[in-house]
Amino acid sequence: MVRRGVFTVFLLLLGSRPSAPQQVNAELNFEVTYVGADSVYVNGGREEGLAQGMELDIFHHKPGEAAVARQLVGRVRVFAVASHSAACKILDGAGSLTRGDEAVLAEADAQLLRYLARSRNTRRYAQVVTFTGISELDPLEEEQREYVPRPPLPEINRVRGMISFEQNSLFDHTSGSRSHYSGVAVRADMTRIGGSFWNLRGYWRGRLHSRGSGSRQETIRDLLSRTYTFAFTYDNPHSRNVLGFGRLLLPWASSLSTLDGGYYGRRLRDVATVGVFGGSTPDPTAWDYDPNRQILGVFSSFQAGRFDSVRYSGTVGLAHTRHHWRAERQFLFMENGFFAGRKLSVYQSMEIDYRSKGRFGSRTGGPVLTRSFVTLRYRANEIVSLDLGHNYFRPAPTFDFRLIGTGLLDRFLYQGVTGGVRIELPHHSVAYGSVGRSHRKSDSRPSWNYLAGITLGTLPFLDVRTDLRTSRFASSFGSGRYVSLTFTRDITESMRLQIEGGRQTFQSPLTDQNRAHWFNIGIDWLPGAHYLVTAGFTIYGGELQRYDQLFLSLGYRF
């Protein structure tokens, strides 16, 4: 028996030929195909081994020069990956990166990529001899189990953020009351917490203590603080599960606005994701805003293509809403995006309600288009871009009308077709505008809408950055206009002054707040590398609210 076993092993060894070394299919060098304001595209993607979170060094290499003469000009981090292309966020060297530069995978990521590629190729060897009683495992699997990549990737356990304590004083001229309250604000950017694939990003602000006479009214600063997101997310490129919870946007359907809740998705292969989501609707800039609404739904998302050529993404889902936990809406939602490089983009979103006959006074039943938004944008060159859009919504929007003058609600202030242009000017300046018309059933003729604005990177002789915008709008729920002006100046390298003001008029049967004006001044001071002091005051005058607000914030950055 022993002789037969030895003879068998001998024949196996004689019959096997030395295998040629397997080539490791790990691509480490790529080319920059596009450079934007804060992002770049490279010609390598999922098939070449790139994954979200990986970092690449960017080198400038003049034609004809030796490879050792190349110069390091920046670093980028991958945030989105397609089959053969990737989009990267610029971390350093934004002004010196150019198309055609060489992108080289950072050493820590390159080491891991080489190992994974070597492991995949080694598994293809034809014969591996094991000996019972010594080890029951494949020696290659044992080597993989013992391997720990060093040094760790830069994004592992990266903790950045700020915590600040606030003190506010509010003087209400309508009721004559005064109130004082303290609060805390947290801003976080934490990735790969504890070496895992959990991340914490966003901003949160809340009250700790209040005192004073009368009830404290909600100010514009309070409303704006509720437009932020703050969420835990799990996104492992080697796992099919993705999830998040907190105050967030559904990544595959941003038209649903912010949720206080969560989502769970399951990747099917590399191009499709299905999942569920649920929560409440706290964002005052949502077109159907109601803090007492709950939403629950399912979705399916699909994406294909490359970032530097043609790419498509689409999402379809069903959702059910309840108001104070009583049944309200059930609707189908869709989002589609088509992108041809950086030249052309088309985006479409819609919601279709299903209504039962007699419900909410409806005389007919069946599907009803509730909201639709379509925009086409064409980038003619590096200076001029054009867009064409159409907006429609059946019921009157319920966003907070006090935020009209902030510009956050511009996409909801008109119905119908609109066209716009954006022009990049020298010295980081931009001019933009749009014009369109809407037609209501009760109108004898269509009404024209327009928006115009200009941002000056530096105001001559004053070294002040300026933004001026004005808008006139008319739609089925109301009409009006607003104008706002902002000045920003860096007094020193550690101190910044910002002054802004505006005025709006609004005529609508939905609110009695027809006219309002506001003025705000604030100073940001960095007394040290880890400290931030913010102070200022706000004056707001409207028909329903008139108040002065003083605020002071002491923050620690880490």
Checking if the pLDDT of 315 tops 90, the result is yes
Give the residue carrying structure tokens 């703050």: 230
CA 471 – CA 194 distance, rounded (Å): 48
* Segment 295-309, tens digit of pLDDT: 999 999 998 888 778
Checking if the pLDDT of 139 tops 60, the result is no
Give the residue carrying structure tokens 């006479």: 213
Over the chain, what is the mean pLDDT?
80
- Mean pLDDT calculated for residue range 506-533: 85
The reported pLDDT for the residue numbered 68 is: 65
Task: Give Cβ neighbours of residue 12 (< 8 Å, ≥ 6 apart).
Answer: 127, 129
Checking if the pLDDT of 183 tops 50, the result is yes
Least confident window among 296-305, 329-338, 473-482, 535-544: 473-482
Domain range 21-146, CATH class: mainly beta
The reported pLDDT for the residue numbered 158 is: 77
The reported pLDDT for the residue numbered 132 is: 41
The reported pLDDT for the residue numbered 71 is: 82
Checking if the pLDDT of 24 tops 60, the result is no
* Segment 213-258, tens digit of pLDDT: 655 667 777 777 777 788 999 988 888 999 999 999 999 998 888 8
Task: Give Cβ neighbours of residue 75 (< 8 Å, ≥ 6 apart).
Answer: 55, 56, 57, 58, 91, 92, 93, 106
Which carries the bigger pLDDT value, residue 444 or residue 113? Answer: 113
The reported pLDDT for the residue numbered 496 is: 92
Checking if the pLDDT of 36 tops 90, the result is no
- Mean pLDDT calculated for residue range 396-400: 81
Checking if the pLDDT of 164 tops 90, the result is yes
Which carries the bigger pLDDT value, residue 353 or residue 17? Answer: 353
Q: Which two tokens stand for residue 321?
A: 């809403």
Cα 109–chain centre separation = 25
The reported pLDDT for the residue numbered 43 is: 87
Q: Which two tokens stand for residue 139?
A: 């020696």
Checking if the pLDDT of 349 tops 90, the result is yes
Neighbours of 394 (CB within 10 A): 12
- Mean pLDDT calculated for residue range 124-149: 43
Angle at 351 between CA 346 and CA 354, to 5 degrees: 150
The reported pLDDT for the residue numbered 145 is: 45
CA 369 – CA 351 distance, rounded (Å): 6
Checking if the pLDDT of 348 tops 90, the result is yes
What is the C-alpha R_g of the chain?
Answer: 29
- Mean pLDDT calculated for residue range 186-198: 88
The reported pLDDT for the residue numbered 151 is: 55
Least confident window among 71-80, 270-279, 502-511: 502-511
Which carries the bigger pLDDT value, residue 271 or residue 555? Answer: 555
CA 297 – CA 276 distance, rounded (Å): 6
Length of the chain: 558
The band of 118, judged by pLDDT with boundaries at 50, 70 and 90, is low
Give the pairing of strands 230-235 and 198-212. antiparallel
Angle at 423 between CA 420 and CA 428, to 5 degrees: 140
Which ranges in 173-254 belong to alpha helices (H)? 220-225
The band of 384, judged by pLDDT with boundaries at 50, 70 and 90, is very high
CA 396 – CA 344 distance, rounded (Å): 32
Least confident window among 106-115, 149-158, 209-218, 377-386: 149-158
The reported pLDDT for the residue numbered 537 is: 92
The reported pLDDT for the residue numbered 487 is: 93
Checking if the pLDDT of 11 tops 50, the result is no
Checking if the pLDDT of 506 tops 90, the result is no
The reported pLDDT for the residue numbered 204 is: 85
Task: Give Cβ neighbours of residue 57 (< 8 Å, ≥ 6 apart).
Answer: 72, 74, 75, 103, 104, 105, 106
The reported pLDDT for the residue numbered 27 is: 61
Burial 507-537 (b: 16+ CB within 10 A, else e): ebeeeebbebbbebebebebeeeeebebebe
What is the percentage of the chain residues whose pLDDT exceeds 70?
81
The reported pLDDT for the residue numbered 548 is: 92
Exposure of 250 by Cβ count < 10 A (0-12 exposed, 13-18 middle, 19+ buried)?
buried
The reported pLDDT for the residue numbered 81 is: 84
The band of 428, judged by pLDDT with boundaries at 50, 70 and 90, is confident
The reported pLDDT for the residue numbered 477 is: 75
CA 546 – CA 46 distance, rounded (Å): 56
The band of 556, judged by pLDDT with boundaries at 50, 70 and 90, is very high
CA 256 – CA 249 distance, rounded (Å): 8
The reported pLDDT for the residue numbered 176 is: 80
Q: Which two tokens stand for residue 407?
A: 């510009």
Which carries the bigger pLDDT value, residue 144 or residue 210? Answer: 210
